[in-house]
């Protein structure tokens, strides 16, 4: 459980809460990203979405309140600038973000600020790159398995990489045989921006997801095709493109990740499944 030391229930925004905006990190047609203080806590990020209140996003982010995924940004609240939140609303009006009318019900996503480290990918070892890569794959698969949420927009801009002294972290899933220890090799990855996420009920088993994802990722042939499967694959393709963008030797990293995945898959699937590497 994410212990964020917030008073009461951290997923509820207290109407008395006032936000102090310390910096505007991004401002475009769709969003403001504000570095803020709220709940008497410093260094929170408030993502203000200028479009109208979106119940679908609300259910995705609510699912992620107090989540246990160490690779996903802690989410503290998702709401809109309604009258009950007088102080919030006033602050936003003061900043010119909300015009105070009913048709200006902007979404507010409140989350922990992830302090990113500037990373020179070329200076990372294969082990470190593979760990970053593996954290992303395994997070998106475990998340999907556990909550039916598919991110669908995984790319370098949508994760933050921090340095850590922790040696490893463990994913405990509801599936008793999938308790995955992830070696961090100095870096922890946080997935952000679930705005393009979708919730889709699983049509097949987790193990099959992983096998098929691997198969496609390693340019072998998938057995099952479905929309869900294609979405997962797209995420991985994006990531593969990112590796190219930062100009690193993809093949070594990919092989290492493949070995790591096999290590976790073998006890579950036995030795019958052969994944063909086709490079
Ligand atoms: N929790 C966070 N901690 C630190 N920076 C963040 C956080 N959330 C967003 N940002 C910064 O704001 C940028 C845009 O956020 P994102 O949620 O991806 O919005 P968009 O929908 O505009 O892509 C990110 O690339 C990141 O630099
Ligand atoms: Mg983004």
Domain boundary among 51, 80, 112: 112
Nearest residue (by CA) to ligand 1, atom 10, is 33
Statement to judge: residues 258 and 144 lie in one domain: yes
Neighbouring residues of 9: CB distance < 8 A, sequence distance ≥ 6:
none
Residues with CB under 5 A from ligand 2 (ion): 158, 193
Domain boundary among 91, 112, 133: 112
Statement to judge: residues 132 and 108 lie in one domain: no
Count Cβ neighbours within 10 Å for each residue of 233-260 and write b for 16 or more, e otherwise: bebbebbeebbeeeebeeeebbebbbeb
Statement to judge: residues 43 and 177 lie in one domain: no
Statement to judge: residues 272 and 145 lie in one domain: yes
At 63, the pLDDT band (50, 70, 90 cuts) reads very high
Residue to mutate (ligand 1; options 57, 192, 195, 197; most atoms within 8 A of CB):
192
Domain for residue 2, yes or no?
A: no
> Any idea what the CATH number is for the domain that residue 107 is in?
3.30.200.20
Residue 190 sits at φ, ψ, to 5 deg, of -120, 125
pLDDT in tens, 165-190: 999 998 776 655 556 788 899 999 99
Nearest residue (by CA) to ligand 1, atom 22, is 31
Query: pLDDT: is 204 or 159 the higher one?
Result: 159
Domain for residue 4, yes or no?
A: no
pLDDT recorded at residue 249 = 63
The H-or-E segment that residue 44 falls in is: strand 41-52
Domain boundary among 78, 112, 146: 112
The domain of 178 spans 121-278
Nearest residue (by CA) to ligand 1, atom 18, is 193
Nearest residue (by CA) to ligand 1, atom 23, is 193
Q: How many domains does the chain have?
A: 2
Statement to judge: residues 264 and 131 lie in one domain: yes
Ligand 1 and 156: CB distance under 6 A: no
At 111, the pLDDT band (50, 70, 90 cuts) reads very high
Determine the atom of ligand 1 nearest the C-alpha atom of 116: 4
Domain for residue 1, yes or no?
A: no
Pairing of strands 149-150, 198-199: antiparallel
Statement to judge: residues 147 and 224 lie in one domain: yes
> Percentage helix, strand, coil, to 5, in the chain?
35, 25, 40
Ligand 1 and 31: CB distance under 6 A: yes
Count the alpha carbons within 13 Å of 150 in the hemisphere toward its beta carbon. 17
Kindly state the average pLDDT of the residues 225-245.
Answer: 61
Domain for residue 232, yes or no?
A: yes
């Amino acid at each position: 459980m994410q212990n964020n030391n917030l008073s009461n229930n951290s997923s509820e925004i207290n109407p008395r809460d006032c936000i102090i905006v310390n910096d505007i990190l991004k401002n475009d047609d769709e969003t403001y990203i504000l570095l803020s203080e709220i709940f008497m806590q410093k260094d929170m990020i408030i993502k203000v979405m200028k479009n109208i209140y979106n119940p679908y996003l609300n259910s995705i982010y609510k699912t992620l309140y107090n989540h246990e995924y160490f690779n996903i940004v802690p989410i503290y609240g998702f709401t809109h600038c309604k009258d009950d939140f007088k102080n919030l609303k006033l602050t936003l009006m003061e900043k010119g973000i909300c015009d105070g009318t009913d048709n200006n019900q902007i979404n507010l996503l409140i989350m922990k600020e992830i302090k990113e480290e500037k990373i020179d990918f070329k200076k990372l070892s294969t082990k470190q790159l593979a760990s970053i890569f593996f954290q992303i794959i395994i997070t998106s698969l475990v998340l999907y398995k556990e909550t039916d949420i598919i991110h669908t927009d995984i790319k370098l801009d949508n994760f933050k990489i921090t340095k850590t002294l922790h040696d490893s972290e463990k994913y405990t899933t509801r599936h008793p045989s999938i308790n995955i220890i992830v070696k961090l090799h100095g870096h922890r990855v946080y997935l952000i921006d679930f705005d393009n996420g979708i919730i889709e009920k699983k049509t097949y088993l987790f193990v099959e997801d992983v096998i098929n994802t691997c198969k496609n990722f390693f340019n072998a042939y998938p057995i099952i095709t479905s929309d869900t499967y294609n979405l997962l694959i797209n995420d991985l393709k994006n990531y593969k493109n990112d590796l190219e963008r930062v100009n690193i030797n993809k093949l070594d990293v990919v092989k290492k990740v493949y070995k790591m995945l096999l290590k976790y898959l073998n006890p579950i699937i036995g030795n019958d499944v052969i994944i063909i590497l086709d490079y």
